[in-house]
Amino acid sequence: MMPVFLFTFGLLFEGGRALAYYSQSKRVIAQACERSTKPTRTNVPLDEVRRKNVLDTFDALIGSTKQKVVSREVKIDWLTTDIEAKFTYRTVLGSMFNVEQMDYALTYRCDGIPPYPHDGEVIVNNTFEILNGKERVLKFGKSPSTKNGCWGVYSYEELGWDGGTGPGIELQDWSSAECRKKFGWQGYEEPQKDAGSACASVSQQDTSPTDKETGKDASQSPAANPCSPQPDDPAKSPQWSAENARIPPTKYVVELDSDWQGTGRRDANSSIFKYVELHPGTYEVSVWYNGRNDAYGGTNDIDIFLQVLRPKLGSEKKIIEMAQKGKVFWERRSYSITVDTYSVYKLTIAAGGKSDSLGGIITAFEVKYVDAPK
C-alpha cells in the first residue's frame, strides 16, 4: 500500500504544481498582452515600442514564479497582440516517474480597440494662452502702452502641436486696443442688442486676389454683407452654427498665414497638425474665427483636414472650410463630424486662399466627443 500511496501523493503534488505554474503563466501572459493593446495609440504609437512594453511587462511579472522561460515572442499588429512563450521547471518528486523537468508552451491573443471616451469628453483643446505658466511677451509691436508686444511667430511644438508647415504660428494679442488699432485688426466689437443670428452656412469662397493688401499695418475697409453665399451643394459642406458674439474668449489668437520675420518672403500659408486618437462616433469641432480685415476676402480662408494614419495611410480629407468676404467679425463656429473607424488621425489646420502673409485668425479650438454610434 505504501508505494501506491507515495505514487498517488507524488502524482497529486506534481499535478498541483503544474496546474499552479500553468495558471500563473496564463495570467501573466494575458496581463502583458492586454496592457499592450488597450492603451491609447497616441501615447504609444510605434509597434516596436509597444512590443518592447509587452516583453518588459511579461518579464517583470513572470519573475515572481520559480520557472524558467525558454523563449518568448510577441507580434504586434494594429489592434491585436499575439504572445507565445515556452516554459520549463524542475520537478520535486518527478524522479518517482522518471521526469526531472516539465516543459509546456502557452499562446495568447488579445484584441479590440482602447476604451471609448465618455460623452462630452474634450479630445483637443487649444487656447494658446500661456507659455510655461507665464504670460507671454510677444516680439513685435512693443511700445509704452503695449509692453508685452502685439504679435510674434512661434514654433508649432511650443503651442502644443506636433508639427506644421511654413514659418510657424503667429500669435496676436487681441485684448489690446492699441494693437488692434495699430495693425488694423477688425471685428472686435460688442454684440448688437437687436442683432439677429449670424449667417449659418459654409461654402467654398472666392479666392481671387485683392488689391487692398497693405501688409501688417492694414487699413480699414468699408462694411459689407457679413454672410457668406450659400454653397452649391449644402450636403458637401460641413454645417455650423454661429453665436452673435464679437469678442473672442481668449487674449491671444492665431494667424496661420504667418510672417517670415524680415526675410522678404510673402508665401506664408502655414499649417499646424496634431496626432489624435478618434473612436467611431460623433464629434463637435468648435473654433472662434475672424477674417481679420475687410480687405482680406480671398486670402483669409482656413481649412481643417483629417487623415487616417493606421493601419494604412489614408488620403487627407478636407472636413471644414472657413472664410469671410466683405465684413469681417468674430464668430464661434461649431461643426458636427462623424468618424466611422477607430484610428490615429492627423488633424491639420491650414491657411487657405492666397498665400501672402495676410490671413484669417482663430482661437479657442476644441474637438469634443459627443456620442457613440447607436
Measuring CA to CA, which residue among 296, 292, 291 is closest to residue 213?
296
Cell of 142: 512693443
Question: Which runs of consecutive H residues, i.e. helices, occur in the chain?
Answer: 2-37, 47-62, 177-182
Give the phi and the psi of residue 169 in degrees, each rounded to 5. -105, 125
Residue 204, pLDDT score = 29
Helices 47-62 and 2-37, axial angle in degrees (round to 10): 150
Say if residues 247 and 188 touch (Cβ distance below 8 Å).
yes
- Assess whether the previous peptide bond of 311 is cis (omega < 30° from 0): yes
Contacts of 186 (CB under 8 A, 6+ apart): 180, 220, 221, 290, 292, 293, 294, 328
pTM over 0.75: no
Q: What is residue 312's three-state secondary structure?
A: coil
Would you give per-residue pLDDT tens digits along the chain (374 residues)? 556 555 565 556 666 777 888 888 999 999 988 887 777 777 787 888 889 999 999 999 988 877 889 999 999 988 889 999 999 887 766 556 666 788 899 999 998 888 899 999 999 998 767 666 677 889 999 999 999 999 988 888 888 899 998 888 889 999 999 999 998 888 887 544 433 333 333 232 332 333 333 344 443 333 333 333 333 333 333 343 344 457 888 899 998 877 666 666 666 688 999 999 999 999 999 999 998 777 776 778 899 999 999 888 999 999 999 988 878 889 999 999 999 999 999 999 998 876 666 778 899 999 999 998 87
